[in-house]
Amino acid sequence: MRLIFLGPPGAGKGTQAARISERHGIPQLSTGDMLRAAAAAGSPVGLEAKKLIDAGALVPDEVVVGIVAERIEEPDAAKGFILDGFPRTVAQAEALDRMLASKGLSLDAVIEFVVDEGALLDRIATRAREMQERGQEVRKDDNPEVFKTRLEAFRKQTAPLSAYYAEKGQLEKIDGMKPIDEVTRDLVALLEKKAG
């Protein structure tokens, strides 16, 4: 199964992708995690990306597309994958379409997490607090100031993807405001329906 999880920062994509990944035995491919790993490793691309991530801006399409192209070639992605945080621009979506078409593959679904924007800042604050309590380093971009920029990037650059995938008949929506377990239940039901 090849899935895309779409939605603003704090919508719950990562949390749900981890659960569905485990249930279906397919990897969760988070471009945010991959870019943070590249930054932590100190590679030139990673360090360049870090500046943009910390500022809440998107990393250039060609960088992210290159990372995803390599990652989906890995053996664990052969059975499928969940893209979490990619694509984030129409150009990335087009590149992904070309990538998949060249392999004779297609997407099974693009799932949009529909959330009330007013709740997102609270969720991000909760994530920052929980990471701190677990002794993990809090993400620099999980603060109210940078969050505004991330939300703006989402509205301008990522939100148009809903129409892009709706036109292709691939878009499914899920209510991301429900409690975490209920969202998982809805997702599982949706994927079962898709699998027929």
The reply to whether omega before 87 is within 30° of 0 (cis) is yes
Verify binding: residue 12, ligand AMP, rule CB under 6 A.
no
Rounded to a whole number of angstroms, the minimum distance from the CB of residue 189 to ligand AMP is 25
Rounded to a whole number of angstroms, the minimum distance from the CB of residue 36 to ligand AMP is 7
* Residue type at 15 in one-letter notation: T
Q: Residue 61 burial (CB < 10 Å; 0-12/13-18/19+)?
A: middle
Judge whether 82 and 3 are in contact, CB under 8 Å.
yes
Nearer to ligand AMP, 42 or 196 (CB): 42
Verify binding: residue 124, ligand AMP, rule CB under 6 A.
no
Answer for which of 28, 31, 124, 151 binds ligand AMP (CB under 6 A) is: 31
Which position among 2, 50, 88, 123 bears the catalytic label? 88
- Candidate ranges 19-27, 50-58, 110-118, 124-132; the one touching ligand AMP (CB under 6 A): 50-58
Q: Which two tokens stand for residue 71?
A: 């990652």
Q: Looking at the DSSP assignment, which residues form a beta bridge with residue 173?
A: 112
Q: Which two tokens stand for residue 18?
A: 């981890």
Using CB under 6 A as the criterion, what x/- string covers residues 70-99 for binding ligand AMP? ---------------xxxx---x-------
Nearest to 146 by CA among 49, 51, 29, 42: 51
Q: Which two tokens stand for residue 88?
A: 């984030």
User: For binding to ligand AMP (CB under 6 A), which residues are involved?
Assistant: 9, 31-32, 35, 52-53, 56-59, 64, 85-88, 92, 141, 150
Catalytically active residues, by annotation: 13, 88, 127, 139, 150
